Chains A and B, each alone.
Chain A
Amino acid sequence: MNDQDQDGERCALLARAMAERAEQRRQDRGAARTRAADTQGEHGDDAEARTGSWSGSGAAPGSAPGSADTRPLTGSEPLADTRPLTDSRPLAGSEPLAGSEPLAGSRPLADSEPPTATLPAVGGDHANEGDINGGTADRDAEYAAVIAGVKSADRESAVGTAGSGAASSGGGVVASGVATSGVAASGVGTSDDDTRAGAGEHQATTAPDADPEGTPDSAAGTGSDEPPLPPRSGRAGRSGGGGVGRMLTRTAGEILVTLGVVMLLLVVYELWITDIFTARKQAQATQVLEEKWAAAEPNVVTVTRSAGTGGTTDAGPPPAKQLETDASKRTKKYDTLTGEGFAKLYIPSFGADEVYTLIEGTNDDDLATGPGHYADSQYPGQPGNFAVAGHRVTHGAPFNDAGELRSCDALVVETQDDWFVYRVLPMQDEAANWNPAARPECADVKKQTGSYAGVFGRQIVLPQAIEQTYPIPGVQSMTIPPNAERLITLTTCHPQFSDRERMIIHGVLTKSYSKAAGFLPPELGA
């Protein structure tokens, strides 16, 4: 994730900054000490030079012409130094320098000053203090640079929030003010930086001899890519509330970002991953079903071919006419087991290869495997209602296009021994002027009358409308009346991506065929 990338970046920057700083300090220490008695400016230059080399426009360590110190910059070297910097402290973006002793007490003024207004003014004062503090200021500068490094590396978003907000804007004022006035040094915030800011004018003249590579770097570095550090945050934060507040803010931000990522992952899961899971389960269920069918007693179909057509029995699949059967003569010979497939549903208008293994049962697991049969409803071809629920979105979304079904579209069910061809009933707005002869596929689809008068091809109902799966849809009775229609009912959610309502598709059985090797109902092609 981004956070971690940034952490990596930050880490690298830090290591470099620290190494350079240590080197710098070693060079400067002697000079700084002697100059400490001099002007406030020169001390500021030390700090400034450091910032410059730290901010690393690339010229820093290698190109230091005056530097006799050519030791390789390793991450561990500064740590082995006299510095009380532990590995964890500078990295801790949230509580930089918490309780660090070199800073504590070195600036009595610091805590009492209001952050924003005084900063530009106090620069000089602090520079004086920097002098007074002598060597300590060295360290402070270093810390400040490290902090600034952390800031610029991870572009901390929490800076502008909560407790550090005011402080941050204060730092901003200083930084921009200094930058626009053409002084290279920027008030990065802490008093060390104040030192730098105050010494800025001096630096223009004294810096070159103090540290040749410092000036250009600091001009580029501090002015452009150091985001202003809250002037007081280091100070106040180190000793108390600011650090905790910032840490809380940051953690809260991280949690929110994490939750956002989790939500995105949930979308990914629903839209793609469930499809993969379901495809696997569906394939497994299909395989089990096909093995079961293969092991079942073979369907005895007597195909009589007329002499005129050639006579050999292996001349191809038997013609549909001869396999056509009377559904009332077919009996259910297969067993069903909840959670396992027992039939296949073809919906040619969804696509030629749209076939789903139907699962017995409608709980979540069943529906995650494939369209599920309402256990209380009838079976394919039986009088009454063969009712199936299926997902409209996610989990393979078998009924994704249920809203596109038109009247007379074929819904073909294959069982162990039979093919059953259902066709979608007339829609409500077509029913009044229904003419079965208008389209060839509608020849066997009659307008529903009598107790079936309220049954249409597509209905939108409330989720509680279980009666849509009853033998006479919409009639609260599970008794199968004599001369009942043989219906199919598909249920899915409606509107799409919602469960406010259900979409119901009703169809009526128009044909049935016996299964025979190589035979596919002609309706599958339509």
Chain B
Amino acid sequence: MYGWLWRHLPGNTAARIGECLVLFLAVVALLFFVIFPWVEPLLPFNNVDVSQ
């Protein structure tokens, strides 16, 4: 998986490291801004109100 990714990144090692960093940050941003906010209501520690 990551080996495949590494092989398909263009440039030399330094460039690839930079690209990997950018990809990683992009994934983190996706998680923080989209996925986690979406998944959060399903988690058990965020229900603070009483309701029927």
Contacts and interface: CB of A to CB of B under 8 A. Distances in A.
B2 A4 contact: yes
B10 interface: no
A251 to B, nearest CB: 5
A93 B43 CA distance: 38
Main secondary structure of the interface of A (DSSP, over half): mixed
Interface in A2-21: 3-5, 7-8, 11-12
B3 A93 contact: yes
Candidate in B28, B39, B51 with the most chain A CB atoms within 10 angstroms: B51
A275 B17 CA distance: 31
Interface in B26-47: 28, 31-32, 36, 39-41, 43-47
A92 B50 contact: no
Contacts of B47: 463, 493, 499
Contact size class for B?
A: 20 to 34
Contacts of B7: 87-88, 91-92
Interface string B1-17: 11100110000010011
Interface residues of A, number: 55
Interface in A84-122: 87-88, 91-94
Contacts of A374: 49
A58 B52 CA distance: 72
Nearest to B13: A8
Contact of B49 (A3, A4, A389): A389
A394 B47 CA distance: 11
Contact of B50 (A4, A394, A491, A498): A491
A254 B32 contact: no
B48 A390 contact: yes
B45 A497 contact: yes
Interface stretch (A441-449, A465-473, A506-514): A465-473
A3 B7 CA distance: 13
Contacts of B45: 270, 393-394, 493, 496-499
A463 to B, nearest CB: 6
Interface string A494-524: 0011111010100000000000000000000
Interface stretch (A138-146, A261-269, A298-306, A479-487): A261-269
B32 to A, nearest CB: 6
Contacts of A11: 6, 13
Contact of A251 (B1, B17, B50, B52): B1
A390 B24 CA distance: 34
Given A91-B7, A269-B31, A4 B48 contact: no
A492 interface: yes
B20 A91 contact: no
A391 B1 contact: no
Nearest to A504: B50
Candidate in B6, B40, B46, B48 with the most chain A CB atoms within 10 angstroms: B48
B31 A502 contact: no
B25 to A, nearest CB: 11
Given A8-B17, A11-B13, A364-B41, A392 B48 contact: yes
Interface of A: 1, 3-5, 7-8, 11-12, 87-88, 91-94, 250-251, 254-255, 262, 265-266, 269-270, 273-274, 362, 364, 367, 372, 374, 389-395, 399, 461, 463-466, 468-469, 491-493, 496-500, 502, 504
12 contacts: A4-B2, A4-B6, A4-B20, A7-B2, A8-B6, A8-B16, A93-B3, A255-B1, A273-B36, A372-B49, A465-B50, A498-B44
